[in-house]
């Protein structure tokens, strides 16, 4: 059996062993069992569950789960210790004062030392717990600090430490009850009571340790979920910004380039009469109005929750490429358009819109970077092979036309748009021509 993202449990080869970073050794030891001396290790249900939990959520360190002690925390812990010490010592204090004055003083001195020592229990938990347990064997006053030190060790949930300290406290309790001047001291009942008290004491410490670890795990998961949520929000914002930038560029770059090129042409024409000049200005005005309308459409779609709102104009399709080519020709661009696409099956709207944007950006780039050049556009394909669209134009001189600035973002946006549809975009130089070629799956 295999854990998600890990090798099989119980495999004996070195390559199949779970890495220590995934499953700690104490967890890996519980994952297998042997039927006989020579039998291979087989996974157990409990072992698989333990290993899975350890692999999913690593066990935190003690410093991460232990809360810092405040003054209030120290106060109530010492108050509880005093209550335990009083409950244990009150039954023998009067007798010791009358009959065993030396034992009375020894209990007070050892108890005071235990109260001082227990303050440093987190620095050396096991040695201090064992030392205080030894003091509690002769002093009932030390019973309170011994309880606090033992519970503190149990919160660490180390089986060997828990057993060692628990056994030491049980032996100390048995010793104290045997030497203390108690009346009606039944050895059997006293032993059972001592066992029950020590088991409850260590069990309470284990519960506190488990609770601290659960709280740490929940807090860590909440913090991790919050960080992941912030990352998802940031990624969503970045994706949305990129989408808006592509839409704005696709819609506006074509129109504004036309306005720029027409205005530049009019600026260099001194031989135009009034009528031809007015016609040119009217074309510029029409292109500017079209740009404004398309900008409003984009902003309207971004504002609306429902992209199918009737106020938005329909998105371009593959059939609109012919009108785009005619518009470019009417503005003086020499365009040769060959449509060899399979006409028996309509092009899906999403694919057609992407092809339209590719052709639109290609025509815009010719106007900006190679004005006056001819452009050849060829579209071919079918539902099985997909759609291939190619735009080729002669290479222009190495200069940037004035009035047609560009940041080179158009082709970047086209590449992103094409890849999002499962296609690819290639730009290259073939001889003296610049070629822009894109392929898209039919049902992108």
Residue 248 neighbours by CB under 8 Å, 6+ apart: 295, 298
For the chain, the average pLDDT equals 77
Give the chain's domains with CATH numbers. Answer: 1-58 (no CATH), 64-224 (no CATH), 318-444 (3.30.565.10)
**pLDDT value at residue 128:** 93
Gap between the Cα atoms of 73 and 66, Å rounded: 13
**pLDDT value at residue 121:** 87
Asked whether residue 286 carries a pLDDT value surpassing 60, the answer given is: yes
Q: How confident is the model at residue 62 (pLDDT cuts 50, 70, 90)?
A: low
User: Which of 113-120's residues contact partners 24+ apart within 8 Å by CB, and which partners?
Assistant: 113/142, 114/139, 114/141, 114/142, 114/144, 114/145, 114/146, 115/78, 115/81, 115/144, 115/145, 117/145, 118/81, 118/145, 118/148, 118/149, 119/74
Of 223 and 282, the structure prediction assigns the larger pLDDT to: 223
**pLDDT value at residue 57:** 53
Asked whether residue 15 carries a pLDDT value surpassing 70, the answer given is: no
**pLDDT value at residue 397:** 66
Of 386 and 259, the structure prediction assigns the larger pLDDT to: 386
**pLDDT value at residue 10:** 40
Averaged pLDDT, 229-249: 79
**pLDDT value at residue 11:** 40
**pLDDT value at residue 300:** 64
Residue 351 neighbours by CB under 8 Å, 6+ apart: 318, 387, 421, 440, 441, 442, 443, 444
Gap between the Cα atoms of 442 and 387, Å rounded: 6
R_g (Cα) of the chain, nearest Å = 42
Asked whether residue 375 carries a pLDDT value surpassing 60, the answer given is: yes
DSSP annotation of 180? S
Residue 262 neighbours by CB under 8 Å, 6+ apart: 280, 283, 284, 287, 331
**pLDDT value at residue 157:** 84
First to last CA, the chain: 39
Residue 330: other Cβ atoms inside 10 A = 9
**pLDDT value at residue 115:** 92
Question: pLDDT of 98-151, one tens digit each?
Answer: 777 888 888 889 989 999 999 888 888 899 999 999 998 888 888 889 999 999
Of 264 and 48, the structure prediction assigns the larger pLDDT to: 264
**What are φ and ψ of residue 44, in 5° steps?**
-105, 155
State the DSSP string of 190-208.
HHHHHHHHHHHHHHHHHHH
Strand pairing class (424-430; 433-440): antiparallel
Distances in Å between the alpha carbon of 121 and those of 139, 149, 152, 345?
19, 6, 8, 81
Asked whether residue 225 carries a pLDDT value surpassing 70, the answer given is: yes
Tokens, residue 168:
């030491």
Q: Are 205 and 165 in contact (CB under 8 A)?
A: no
**pLDDT value at residue 104:** 84
Averaged pLDDT, 265-281: 72
């Amino acid at each position: 059996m295999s854990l998600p993202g890990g090798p099989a449990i119980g495999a004996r080869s070195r390559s199949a062993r779970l890495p220590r970073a995934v499953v700690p050794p104490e967890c890996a030891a519980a994952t297998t069992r042997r039927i006989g001396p020579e039998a291979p290790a087989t996974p157990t249900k409990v072992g698989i569950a333990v290993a899975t939990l350890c692999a999913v959520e690593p066990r935190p360190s003690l410093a991460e789960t232990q809360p810092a002690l405040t003054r209030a925390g120290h106060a109530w812990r010492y108050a509880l210790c005093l209550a335990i010490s009083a409950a244990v010592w009150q039954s023998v204090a009067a007798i010791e004062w009358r009959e065993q004055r030396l034992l009375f003083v020894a209990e007070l001195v050892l108890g005071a030392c235990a109260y001082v020592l227990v303050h440093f229990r987190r620095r050396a938990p096991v040695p201090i717990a064992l030392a205080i347990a030894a003091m509690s064997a002769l002093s009932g006053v030390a019973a309170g600090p011994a309880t606090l030190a033992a519970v503190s060790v149990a919160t660490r949930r180390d089986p060997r430490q828990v057993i060692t300290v628990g056994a030491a406290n049980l032996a100390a309790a048995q010793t104290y009850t045997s030497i203390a001047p108690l009346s009606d001291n039944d050895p059997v009942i006293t032993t059972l009571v001592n066992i029950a008290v020590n088991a409850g004491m260590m069990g309470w410490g284990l519960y506190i340790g488990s609770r601290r670890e659960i709280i740490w795990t929940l807090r860590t998961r909440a913090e991790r979920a919050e960080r992941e949520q912030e990352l998802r929000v940031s990624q969503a914002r970045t994706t949305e910004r990129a989408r808006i930038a592509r839409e704005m560029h696709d819609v506006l770059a074509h129109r504004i380039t036309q306005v720029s090129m027409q205005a530049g042409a009019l600026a260099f024409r001194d031989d135009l009469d009034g009528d031809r000049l007015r016609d040119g200005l009217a074309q510029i005005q029409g292109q500017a109005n079209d740009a404004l309308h398309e900008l409003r459409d984009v902003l309207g779609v971004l504002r609306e929750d429902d992209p199918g709102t009737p106020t938005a104009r329909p998105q371009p399709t593959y059939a609109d490429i012919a009108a785009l080519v005619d518009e470019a020709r009417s503005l003086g661009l020499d365009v040769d358009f060959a449509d060899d696409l399979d006409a028996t099956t309509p092009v899906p709207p999403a694919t057609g819109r992407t092809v339209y944007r590719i052709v639109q950006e290609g025509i815009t780039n010719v106007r900006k970077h190679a004005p006056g050049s001819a452009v050849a556009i060829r579209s071919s394909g079918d539902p099985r092979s997909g759609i291939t669209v190619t735009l080729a134009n002669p290479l222009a001189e190495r200069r940037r036309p004035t009035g047609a600035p560009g940041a080179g973002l158009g082709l970047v946006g086209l590449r992103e748009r094409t890849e999002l549809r499962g296609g690819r975009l290639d730009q290259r130089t073939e001889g003296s021509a610049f070629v822009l070629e894109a392929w898209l799956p039919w049902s992108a």
